[in-house]
């Protein structure tokens, strides 16, 4: 690992911890993504994490707070755009006809994308708007 990669890992660790401390499982390799998607048959929240401000100020806090809802996904996973590039690219392969976006939030069920919130529905929105978007999807799909 070169000095830049090591620095970015160090800088992004608190951003990773914010999600793992909330119960998210990190998928770090394409193989982990493939195995998870092939074997998971329950509603799952997928957070495509990012170092940007809208991930820090909106996406991660909204996702975590949305989990206080009565109906919610059974599983929580995350990939980190810009850090775990291959895992993120592999996860995005499962989101057919969706432009790559980070941060973004997906709800999948039985390996199929059922709801997606791209960056342009995160950045410039209120945290409550994102929470409402998620809880509506939870009510429908979980």
Q: Which residues are catalytic?
A: 52, 54
Residues near 20 by beta carbon (within 8 Å), at least 6 away in sequence: 26, 78
The 8-class DSSP code of residue 126 comes to -
Burial (0-12, 13-18, 19+ Cβ within 10 Å), 80: buried
């Amino acid at each position: 690992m070169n000095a830049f990669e090591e620095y970015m890992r160090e800088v992004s660790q608190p951003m990773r911890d914010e999600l793992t401390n909330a119960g998210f499982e990190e998928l770090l390799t394409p193989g982990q993504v493939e195995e998870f998607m092939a074997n998971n048959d329950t509603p799952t929240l997928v957070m495509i994490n990012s170092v940007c401000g809208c991930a820090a100020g909106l996406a991660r806090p909204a996702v975590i707070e949305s989990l206080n809802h009565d109906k919610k996904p059974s599983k929580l996973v995350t990939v980190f755009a810009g850090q775990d590039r291959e895992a993120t690219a592999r996860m995005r392969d499962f989101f057919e006809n969706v432009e790559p976006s980070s941060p973004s939030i997906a709800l999948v069920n039985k390996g199929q994308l059922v709801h997606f919130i791209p960056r342009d529905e995160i950045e410039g929105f209120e945290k409550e708007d994102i929470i409402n978007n998620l809880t509506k999807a939870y009510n429908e799909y979980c």
